[in-house]
Structure 1
Amino acid sequence: MEKTKILAIVGSLRKESFNRQLAMAAQAAIGDKAEFEILDFADVPMMNQDNEFPAPIAVKKAREKVKAADGIWFFTPEYNHFFPGVLKNLIDWLSRPISESEPPLLAGKPAAISGISPGMSGTGIAQDHLVTLISFLNMDVMNAPRLTVPNAMQQLDAQGKLQLTASAPYLEKQAESFLTFIQEHK
């Protein structure tokens, strides 16, 4: 039996972002129960219908990764009570038809959402906005459990690396729940 494939999409392009580190912690929580890959989409250009067909190479690569994935796990920061523009831009590309004969990739795809922030909201507001968008695109959203990690600065080690403390069991629960959620939708 083929292993479940989870594609993580981190809404921050910064190499050491808290949400990238949270995605890596999720990867560790998943362990060998599934294949887990973090999508690199820094080279995806701004959505422009003038350049839609044929899609830029970076968009084609991102689409191939999404198409091959059994589930998409979003890790979003919260910028001004919203998810980042780079994440919206990627989703805009992914929401478009691949060609005149191929539909968009996101419809029906299982999705989970997590986020970490230095503030008190733990990205809850951004996550709600993201759920609105991906629900509109007909993704199959696992609404519970969702993970919101507030006060990121209190969960860093001496080198500034994320060291989940109180949030670790919640991440593990979400990882197990998402694996089950994906299996139920296969």
Structure 2
Amino acid sequence: HFSDTVDLEILDINDVPMFNQSDDQTNSEPVAYLSRKISQADGVIIATPEHNHTLTASLKSVIEWLSFNVHPFSDKPVMIVGASYYDQGSSRAQLMLRQILESPGVNAIVMPGNEFLLADVKQAFDENNNLKDAGTVKFLGSTLQKFVKFVKVINSLNEPQPTSAEDEDLTASSKIDTTIEGVDMGADDWVEQAAKKVDAVDGDTYVKLDRGILTVNQLDAFLNSMPIELTYADSNNQFIYYNHALPAKEMLAPRTPDQAGDPMSMVHPARAVKHVKEVIHMLRTGQTDEVKMPVPGNGPDKYVLHSYRAMRDSENKYLGINEYVEDLMPMIKWYLSKTGQKLVADPDAVSGASEKDSDASTGASSASDETPAATPQQPAAPETDASTGASEDDDQSAAATTATPTPAEVKPDTEPDDVTGASEDD
């Protein structure tokens, strides 16, 4: 009846375990799936029967899970509907459910009035499971239309105030839940000081992960064995980790141990700050999930790529940037050797190299006749600052961020100084 009014997806709670605080199932597939779907929805309609003058234990249990360690209902517009065998139409269950949804920890915003109470439910539907009574259908339709308006109003109030890239604080002067206070971020031994401050575990102490348990030593070995260079910059714009597998001089994007803990402002020259802010802002605000940036001067034997990916939790809250740096050519060569294929230049391909002469103020590269024919060609992209992939021209930047939401691939003009903390030195 109402496909032109709402885009509705039905979520079943049959597989959700009964709530048990001592056996946390927040990350189990049924609970995580519900949490993710509710977080992504514009609004939620909850249908409830009535059992002994109240709602069902199973529905109460679901709400317990969704207000224990995750809170997808917080500030979410909710409409309640219900049905019962007799003439009460679940009125008492709906009243109880409304009180639960509006309680601290759940914090849903339940639409007032306009209750839909369906009595004598066994006689209300025909053989095709459609409501028989035209008046009931009409009333339900009007209630849904009011809920759509309610959703728009509530969500407009919940929208954060618009910010710009200029608002990004690269000095990490704010504080987030995981900020380690009382330790100088710029200290060369920040890791050691911070670890002592919070009594961080190390060595053979076990750490419980989403789908496994590793000791700290195992976790370090696992990350250091990755064939890519990893960097973590948190949502406060503090560079807090890189996988220290190689000395700086052997890395594709050199980093040094004393840089860990530095605010982003300490790992970038002044000329790069504007573009660093633009890329961070794009990732933070969801304009794109990933920014890809090839290093200038890539040739037939090396193709180094910096990728910046936004990290988010189960409620889509921004956690920071995962930067990974890799040389793609070894994998490409392996693939070609195994398949008997080869790279052939496409004469119609648009080169990613700039056709302009080098610009002293931006470092833009000149037309490259030195790139061998076998080198993979890059798609055209606006001229960019190497550290961020952000366009030098404001209009170009806007176009680049709206045309392709994810990933955004950009062509650098200068040597990458790395959005998340690469050393300026080779």
TM > 0.5 fold call: yes
How is 1:15-164 mapped onto 2 (pairs within 5 angstroms)? 28-29=1-2, 31-52=3-24, 55-98=27-70, 104-136=71-103, 137-157=106-126, 159=127, 161-164=129-132
Q: Is the 8 A contact 2:5 2:145 kept in 1?
A: no
Between the aligned partners of 1:122 and 1:162, the Cα distance in structure 2 is 17
Match status 1:167 vs 2:136? yes
Per the TM alignment, residue 115 of structure 1 is displaced from its structure 2 partner at its CA by 0.8
Distance 1:33 1:83 in 2: 28
1:184 lines up with 2:159 in the alignment: no
Q: Give the SS at the match of 1:81.
A: coil
Task: Provide closer, same or farther for how the CA distance between residues 135 and 96 of structure 1 changes in structure 2, counting only shifts above 3 A.
Answer: same
Distance 2:52 2:128 in 1: 23
TM-score when scaled to structure 2?
0.34
Cα distance change, pair 47–83 in 1 and its aligned pair in 2 (3 A): same
Q: 1:175 to 1:164 in 2, by over 3 A?
A: farther
Amino acid at match of 1:139: A
Determine the C-alpha separation between the residues in 2 that align with 1:107 and 1:71.
Answer: 11
Return the offset for 1:54. 5.7
Alpha-carbon distance, 1:164 to partner: 3.7
Q: Distance in 1 between matches of 2:130 and 2:140?
A: 13
Structure 1: which amino acid aligns with 2:153?
E
In 2, Cα distance between equivalents of 1:62 and 1:132: 21
Q: Distance in 2 between matches of 1:59 and 1:53?
A: 7
Post-superposition CA distance 1:81-125 (Å, at most 9, x none): 111111111111011123xxxxx2212110101111110100111
| More helix by percentage | 1
Q: Which has the larger radius of gyration?
A: 2
Aligned-residue offset at 1:179: 0.4
Question: Aligned pair count?
Answer: 152
| Gaps in structure 2 of 5+ consecutive residues | 156-426
Q: 1:171 to 1:164 in 2, by over 3 A?
A: farther
Which structure would you say has the larger RCO, counting Cα contacts within 8 Å and 6 or more residues apart? 1
Counterpart AA for 2:44: I
Q: CA 1:105/1:54 → structure 2, altered by over 3 Å: closer, same or farther? A: closer
| Contact preservation (8 Å) 2:26, 2:65 | no
Q: Which sits farther off after the overlay, 143-152 or 121-130?
A: 143-152
What displacement does 1:160 show?
A: 7.7
Task: Write the letter of the residue equivalent to 1:48.
Answer: N
* Alignment partners' CA distance in 2, 1:155 and 1:73: 20
Alpha carbon RMSD of aligned pairs, Å? 1.7
TM-score normalised to the size of structure 1? 0.75
Structure 2 distance, partners of 1:52, 1:45, is 10
